[in-house]
Amino acid sequence: MRELKNTKIIAVDHGYGNMKTANTVTPTGIKAYETEPIFTGNILEYNGIYYRIGEGHKEFIPDKAMDEEYYLLTLMAIARELNVFSIREADVHLAAGLPLTWIRNQREAFRSYLLQNPEVHYRFNGKEYHLHFAGCSLYPQGYPAIVNHLENFKGTNLLADIGNGTMNILYINNKKAQESRCWTEKLGVNQCMIAAKNAVLDKFGVKIEESTVEQILRFGTADISAPYLDCISSIARQYVAELFSTLRKYEYNPDLMRLYVVGGGGCLIRNFGTYDKSRVTIIDDICATAKGYESLAYMSLKRRG
C-alpha cells in the first residue's frame, strides 16, 4: 500500500485462484451464510449477509462484473491490506487489472463495478471498516509485474502471465510493450487441475482432494503413493508441453528471445517443464502484479499532482 495526499493506493489482483494485494494472498472462493458461521476465519459481513472467503472455488467467467462476488472479494482484499497497517478507515484509490485483450472493452464497466458505492461500511474478521473510494486505475494483467525490471528487457522478450483462468501473452521489444502483439488464451492452471483430478478418477476410481493436487503442482510432490503421484505428474507435464506449444503458435523461439513467466503457472514450468533455464526467467512473487499496479497508479497520480 502507498499513500498520496492522505489517499491510500491499494492494488487488488483479481485472480481466479487467489486474490492478491501487495502484501496479502487469499483464495478466491466465497460462500454466503444467512447466519454467522460456526468457525472463524476470513468472514466478511456485508449488508446483513456473512461470507466465508476461501471456501469453495470461483469458476471462470469472462466478465468479472457479471455477479457480486468479485466486488465482495475486493472489499475483503482491501480490508486485509489495511489490516497489515492497522487501519480501519481510509480514502482509497483502487488499482486493478484485466486480461490483456479484454481490458479495451471491459475497462469502464469494471471500473464502474468496483466503484459502485462511493462509501462502504462493512466488517471483516470482526473488525469494522469504513472506506471512501476516491478513484480506480486499471491496467493490463501481467505487464505490471515486470514494470520495475524493464531495464533487463533488451532485444525481443516474451511475457507469459499464466494465471488460474487465463494465460496472457505480450511481446516486449527493447523495453517497450507491443500492444499489437498481445493475446489472451483460456489455458490457466485450473485446466491442469481439472485434468489431473479426472485422470485420477479414471485410472483409480477415486476422487482426490484439490488441495493435494495443488500441492503437487506447486512443489512437484506430495505425501501420496507413487502411482497417484506419477499419474498427476504426467498430466502436469502434458499441460506444460501445451503451454509451450501455445507460445510457439505466437512465434516464441527460445533462440531468438527471452521468456519471462509470471503467475501461478510458473511453478508448473519449473517442476514439470523442459526448458533452457538461462533463457527463461520465472518470477516467483505471487504478489508481483499487484505491486506493479500499485507502482503504476502511484506514479500516475503523482504526475497529475
The DSSP-derived string for 117-130 is -SEEEEEETTEEEE
pLDDT of residue 103: 86
Q: State pLDDT tens for residues 157-169.
A: 999 999 998 999 9
**Is 47 part of any domain?**
yes
pLDDT of residue 137: 97
**Is 68 part of any domain?**
yes
**Is 125 part of any domain?**
yes
pLDDT grade for 108, boundaries at 50, 70 and 90: very high
Q: How many domains in the chain? A: 2
Which domain CATH number covers 82?
Answer: 3.30.420.40
Looking at the structure, do residues 63 and 152 belong to the same domain, yes or no? no
pTM recorded for the entire structure: 0.91
Helix (H, G, I), strand (E, B) or coil at 235: helix
**Strand stretches in the chain, DSSP E:** 2-4, 7-11, 13-14, 18-20, 25-27, 30-33, 43-46, 49-53, 89-98, 119-124, 127-140, 156-162, 167-173, 176-185, 258-262, 280-282
Looking at the structure, do residues 157 and 277 belong to the same domain, yes or no? yes
Query: Which of 140, 162, 179 is the last residue in one of the domains?
Result: 140
**Is 214 part of any domain?**
no
Looking at the structure, do residues 111 and 11 belong to the same domain, yes or no? yes
Looking at the structure, do residues 131 and 185 belong to the same domain, yes or no? no
Looking at the structure, do residues 113 and 162 belong to the same domain, yes or no? no
**Is 303 part of any domain?**
no
**Is 57 part of any domain?**
yes
Looking at the structure, do residues 277 and 176 belong to the same domain, yes or no? yes
**Is 157 part of any domain?**
yes
Domain range for 171: 148-189+221-282
pLDDT grade for 303, boundaries at 50, 70 and 90: very high
Percentage of residues in the chain with pLDDT exceeding 70?
Answer: 100
Q: Which residue has the cell 491490506?
A: 81
Q: State pLDDT tens for residues 202-218.
A: 999 999 999 999 999 99
Looking at the structure, do residues 170 and 89 belong to the same domain, yes or no? no
